[in-house]
Structure 1
């Protein structure tokens, strides 16, 4: 059995994974929207379902960007989006020895 590159935050509703998980996620789940939380996009948005909702690295604006990202995901959830994916920065940019599970 192959390990998935993404995990469920809320079963069958909200998934989380790196940008490298999007293709697998779209093959296995029905996704309405993907929130891309990366501060900077190297190659544009990874999917036509993607919305850029960055969490910035600067300490000055970080709290506001985190609140905006949480509110965007919750608004989608509360407005009936059945499946929401959250693409987080990190795994696709790290060396394999540095990668961690997102929810552990």
Structure 2
């Protein structure tokens, strides 16, 4: 399974910003790398999801009751603005099976 993270910043429409990363999810979960963007997202969302083991995943993956707080953004200080984060997954045959979009505003220096 391949997972892709994209970050966009709203200026006159949403434009690519900061990163566009594709990773093999199974490899990244088996061999975590603290310097990888997937590591930060995994650690932020894992307490709220069923992603508590490595592959294979034979059931639905969910993230429930997740709350983003300021501490999650301390590693990457972002300027004020409106942002969109997309997470896409494919089935290994280049068929994208899910897309999750998260919209958020940063209004603090």
Structures share fold, TM-score greater than 0.5: no
TM-score band by shorter chain is: 0.3 to 0.5
Instruction: Report the TM-score, using the length of structure 1 for normalisation.
Output: 0.34
More strand by share: 2
TM-score of the two chains, using structure 2 as the length reference? 0.33
Choose 1 or 2 for highest CA Rg. 2
Structure with the larger helix share: 1
